[in-house]
Amino acid sequence: MEQTATARQTSVQALNHFEEFKKTDSKILNKLEGQDRQQANEYVQGILRRKSYLDFLISHYSAVAVDDMNLQFKNILRIGLYDLLFMDGTPDYAAVNEAVELAKTMGGSRSGDLMNAILRRVQRDMPDLPRPDFEDRTKLVSTTFSHPEWLVKRWIDRFGERDSFRLMQYNNQTPTYYLRVNGLKTNAQNFKLRLSKADIDFEESEWLPGYYKVNGLNKIRTKGWFQKGFAQVQDIAAGFAPTILDPQPGEDVYDLCAAPGTKTIMLCDLMQNKGNITAVDISAERIALIAENVTNYGADIVKVHRADITIERFKLVDAVLLDAPCSGTGVLAKRADLRWRRTESELEEFTRKQDELLDAAANMVKRGGRLVYSTCSIEPEENMDRIQAFLKEYNNFELENLEDYLPEEVLADDGKSYQTLPHIHNCDGHFGVLLKRVV
């Protein structure tokens, strides 16, 4: 009981922090270990995935409006509802009792009584819970699938309702993860043996070598394989950008906006630890994270450099990877918080920054060199629109064909860009192109 209460209490703290600051703080959950941490993470991410729908139910069963509720009480109530409706391992009576006891502990007996009254009514109606029935179609879909209205409207206009529903349903599922074997510390055959011996179910990717899909990370964390540098968590689509850059042993390479360093490590692996990689980021905290990761994973040829690449001048190199800051609409299954943090007006801000970064990156590439631009967005404004604008300004770069590097199903018709969509490709949504400097 103590462990479960601790996971729930910590979840309340994490959800309170998100409501107050509009961002998650991993340090809060990192106070927990093992099963406790996994459970708390499921609460936080699961509730953020279902927030609009949970709040709709609260508004139906509570006399107090959601916006007027005490923040702590509201998040305990969200946990109780999530337990009742989405946590298969929690019996209904336990879901109610745990929430009531937590409300008493954190808010007093009156809070406990109110919590009990609301959750008992929900439990009674569970076979036939109310459904959103707003006349406004966008609001109806937004509440049902717990995505902001501006994103719902944008996606329906672009994909149509059926595919938009599939995309949002994908984003609301507990995600699966990919592991990439780190060839600097082990090899694929040995790692597969480790997975099998540990009774960890995995599925080997046909798209890129050394990638394995797993349903959870807790068992792998307890084995210490990340600390030993044997593998890193990296979605298969995130591996496309380093793959198409195709860095060769002995080359000079920049990885820009590099934190937390997973792509940097993959570049080093592809280069067989021969050559020079400079991993650049503007954030001091994130630079420290890159340094820690490259040391842990044995990426010996990496130098870490803090800089604003739009200001500092860099020497010309063979290859540059720019994984640009973006809206992150391709990773909402793993980063449920982003859907509530992003706004439509931010898209324009991102595109301006992406143009600045692309301009800076282009001026680091030597003649005959390569530049990869990538994002974890599925919005055209951040992706091909940026490349078309770039090519109007830079006639010394040309798009390269990607058919030799990536599977056909993720490529555009002309083969010169890739775009994954979560509901179609069963992975994160990523975009990328390979540009060659010809003059």
Q: Looking at the structure, tell me whether residues 365 and 245 fall in a common domain.
A: yes
pLDDT the model gives residue 34: 84
**3-state secondary structure at position 432:** strand
Q: Looking at the structure, tell me whether residues 364 and 216 fall in a common domain.
A: no
Of 190, 205, 233, which residue sits at a domain end?
Answer: 233
Using a pLDDT cut of 90, give the percent of the chain over it: 92
Q: Looking at the structure, tell me whether residues 402 and 259 fall in a common domain.
A: yes
Q: Looking at the structure, tell me whether residues 361 and 416 fall in a common domain.
A: yes
Of the CA atoms within 13 Å of residue 123, those in its CB half-sphere come to 18
Q: Looking at the structure, tell me whether residues 68 and 82 fall in a common domain.
A: yes
The pLDDT mean for the chain works out to 95
Strand 317-323 with 418-419, pairing? unpaired
Helix pair angle (2-21, 92-107), 10° resolution: 60
pLDDT the model gives residue 89: 80
Q: Looking at the structure, tell me whether residues 408 and 372 fall in a common domain.
A: yes
Question: Which domain, by its residues, includes 59?
Answer: 2-128
Which DSSP state fits 176?
A: P
Residue 302 has pLDDT above 70, yes or no: yes
| CATH number, domain with residue 220 | 3.30.70.1170
Q: Looking at the structure, tell me whether residues 197 and 144 fall in a common domain.
A: no
pLDDT the model gives residue 216: 87
Q: Looking at the structure, tell me whether residues 296 and 340 fall in a common domain.
A: yes
Q: In the structure, what pLDDT confidence band is assigned to residue 315 with cuts at 50, 70 and 90?
A: very high
The predicted-structure confidence for 226-237, as pLDDT tens digits, reads as follows 999 999 999 999
Q: In the structure, what pLDDT confidence band is assigned to residue 26 with cuts at 50, 70 and 90?
A: confident
Q: Looking at the structure, tell me whether residues 95 and 158 fall in a common domain.
A: no
Q: Looking at the structure, tell me whether residues 150 and 257 fall in a common domain.
A: no
Residue 19 has pLDDT above 90, yes or no: yes
| CATH number, domain with residue 84 | 1.10.940.10
pLDDT the model gives residue 1: 37
The predicted-structure confidence for 355-401, as pLDDT tens digits, reads as follows 999 999 999 999 999 999 999 999 999 999 999 999 999 999 999 99
Q: Looking at the structure, tell me whether residues 123 and 150 fall in a common domain.
A: no
| CATH number, domain with residue 381 | 3.40.50.150
Q: Looking at the structure, tell me whether residues 351 and 433 fall in a common domain.
A: yes
Q: Are 58 and 376 a contacting pair, CB within 8 Å?
A: no
Alpha-carbon span 332 to 353, nearest angstrom:
21
Domain count, the chain: 4
- Residue by residue, DSSP assigns 109-154 as HHHHHHHHHHHHHHHHHGGG------SSHHHHHHHHHT--HHHHHH
The predicted-structure confidence for 130-181, as pLDDT tens digits, reads as follows 999 999 999 999 999 999 999 999 999 999 999 999 999 999 999 999 999 9
**3-state secondary structure at position 212:** strand
